[in-house]
Amino acid sequence: MNNSLKVGIFVLTISAILGFLIIKFSGKEFGQSYKDYYVYFTDAQGLSKGADVQVQGVKAGKVEDITFEEGKVKVKFKVRQEIPIYKDAKVLIKTYGLMGDKYLYIEPGNPSAGELSSGGVIQNISKMASTEEMIDQVQVAARKFAELMDNLNKATGDDRLKKLIEDFDKFAYNTNDLVVENKEDVRRAIANIRAITAELRQKLPSITENLDKTLENTKNITAENKEDIRKLIANLKDLSIALKEKAPKTLDSVDKAATEIEKAVSENRQDLRISIENIKKASDNLNQILAKVNEGKGTLGKLVNEDSFYNNVNEGVKSFAEPFKVVKESNLEVMMQGEKHTGNKDSKAGAAFKFIPTDDRYYYVGILSNSQGYVDKKEEITSNGTTTTYVTKKYGILFDLQYARKVLNLGEYQLWARFGIKDSSADIGGDFVINNNLKLVADLYRFNRKDLINQPNNPQFDVGFEYRFSNYPIFVKLGGSDLLNSSVRGVYIGGGFVFTDNYLKYLLGSLPKVR
């Protein structure tokens, strides 16, 4: 091995060792990933760039940068990738020892709050007292303790402490004599107080609850009937006045009426006796008729006593009421609409009805104008080897008649299938309902276009969106028209008004009454 190769190997080895030491002492690790976070302090308390970052007492990163931003100290620091930091994490500045270096201490928070993504800002900040603040507090405590000692010395000077002790001793002696003399009475009083306390402890919650309910009920009654109470008092006053003024006259009138009644009864006593006998005879006849009815005699008795008649009538009423029940539980929408297609130059306008008996189906009936016309008659005449096709078109009314059914629920979304007639031709369609206002609509129809002259052979396929406003009876629609035929492919736009049962009831209720 020559000298040049040895020198090269030596230089590479020394360079690798130096690089490893530089990376090691700079706090970086091979293959280690970090997440960056930010925190804002009003006072950095001597924190410096490169300071350690601990998460629950474990060294997890370094302070990357310290800058000023809008009057606050912005600290950027990094934490190892595998250590989770949550959104309710808390950060504070601590000190190694009493006079050591500053470092960031992180309390990672609760996993239920969700993990804070890299680049996020920790909002919860706690402040630790600095060494200077602790020294100031110790000085203040020492000064207050010195003042306490001075006051104590003043209080105990001139034999004051001795006199205080003697007075306290006399007070204790007299108290002891008093307790000994009244020991039995004190024991009884304590026993009575305990009994009262125990009973009160048992009954106080129910008493308090009943009192609260009474106060609340009284308050509610007074608040809800305040006006009625005021009117009641006024009415009582008026009644009292009326009684004072009119009671004597009323009593005189009653007395006169009683006299007249007594006189009338005396004069017509014989007629009253005859009337009472007639009433008794009528009552006996009615009892005989009711007895025959109960026995099932006669037509009325059979109607009353035979269950078959009641069952037939009941079934008939139910059958008659069933259609009205369906109509009552159903919803009806009335629409006036129009739309314009740019590709095939088709324009349509008309009215439609949507009958919704249940939440999972509906029936659609529409009548539209026809700008393109439809084939009424087609003839092929061959003459001299040449075939000529004659097509007769009519421009009349187009009909829509469709049945729709919900086939799938996808969470908040719904998928509906439709089939029937659209523009007087067979139709297969579907609706993808996104919410109550917006849905995606698709239709495949006009399968008879091959019978038309200068028309594409493929059926018409339209796909678009329909949006209904929540607070207004208006809807709009927009989409692609005739997507299967490039020659007439375009867009369509349309809209109109839709009136539900509630709108119709409101409009009909607003009409003036005819007298």
Same structural domain, 36 and 24: no
Same structural domain, 88 and 2: no
The reported pLDDT for the residue numbered 163 is 74
Same structural domain, 16 and 123: no
Average pLDDT over residues 372-401: 70
Strands 124-126 and 90-95: parallel
Domain presence at residue 60 = yes
Distance of alpha carbon 169 from alpha carbon 6, whole angstroms: 100
Q: Are 126 and 91 in contact (CB under 8 A)?
A: yes
- A 10 A CB-CB count for 438 gives 12
- Residues with Cβ within 8 Å of 456's Cβ and at least 6 positions away in sequence, in order, are 449, 482, 484, 485, 487, 488
Distance of alpha carbon 200 from alpha carbon 194, whole angstroms: 10
Pick the most confident of 95-109, 225-239, 369-383, 495-509: 95-109
Strands 34-41 and 374-383: unpaired
Same structural domain, 460 and 495: yes
Domain limits at 13?
A: 1-28
The reported pLDDT for the residue numbered 434 is 95
User: Residue 165 in 3-state DSSP?
Assistant: helix
Same structural domain, 24 and 44: no
Domain presence at residue 137 = no
Same structural domain, 384 and 505: yes
- Domains in the chain: how many in total? 3
* pLDDT over 80 (residue 321): no
Q: Which candidate, 92, 99, 100, places its Cα nearest to that of 57?
A: 92
Which residue in this structure is represented by tokens 């092929």?
380
- A 10 A CB-CB count for 464 gives 19
Domain presence at residue 152 = no
Whole-Å CA distances, 148 to 62, 262, 285, 335, 483 = 48, 106, 114, 91, 97
Q: Residue 204's pLDDT band (boundaries 50, 70, 90)?
A: confident
Domain presence at residue 315 = no
- Last residue of one domain, picked from the residues 128, 159, 175: 128
Same structural domain, 399 and 458: yes
Same structural domain, 2 and 109: no
Q: What is the CATH number of the domain that holds 88?
A: 2.40.30
Give the model confidence (pLDDT) of 135-158 as tens digits: 677 677 778 877 877 776 676 666
Whole-Å CA distances, 451 to 228, 297, 461 = 81, 77, 17
The reported pLDDT for the residue numbered 82 is 93
Q: Are 79 and 37 in contact (CB under 8 A)?
A: yes
| DSSP per residue, 101-128 | -EEEEEE---GGG-BPPTT-B--EEE-P
Same structural domain, 439 and 475: yes
Same structural domain, 19 and 66: no
Task: For residue 312, report the phi and psi dihedrals to the nearest 5 degrees.
Answer: -65, -45
Same structural domain, 429 and 502: yes
Same structural domain, 46 and 4: no
Distance of alpha carbon 64 from alpha carbon 83, whole angstroms: 17
Whole-Å CA distances, 109 to 92, 139, 226, 499 = 13, 36, 54, 55
Domain presence at residue 455 = yes
The reported pLDDT for the residue numbered 472 is 87
pTM of the model: 0.38
